[in-house]
Chains A and B, each alone.
Chain A
């Protein structure tokens, strides 16, 4: 069954509002990756987190890896219409292959 859950499943925000998606794993992860998929597009790698409690920033995006390495979050400050898409977290499971979370679809209204 699915081992990586993301919440919320959907999020609609007004442009300029903040957005956060959460990723929860059933097991401890050696690393977690985040990908973005634009509507009609394919997943594109954003960032990888490895250390417990690690925080990384990319302009308006802030990524965090939990202390127990079982959860992660992606926070977008002051969303823009270019942020529209589905955000996936992914982590290695079972045979050390990358398994993707359920995704959070973000819609931004101008």
Chain B
């Protein structure tokens, strides 16, 4: 069945370093992915999205890479800051906003 999962449940990085969060998906028909950030006690917040006609998309300090061959995407955060500490989810939006979320990666930024 469809699943979207993550390789690492917790990622600890030093402030100022770059962070890379990975995500694998199983449905080869999936063509639209979204990364969300969820801070403690809050709802998910949209970060960046990517469609399957792209391999890479950049935002402010964030980059998402999509490798359709191995069904893998990653979120790169440049110059990680304490405010980036949160749980990050990838989600498959293959069904009209009825998202399939991965299990999440907790990012901890050490000062």
Q: Does A pair with B?
A: no
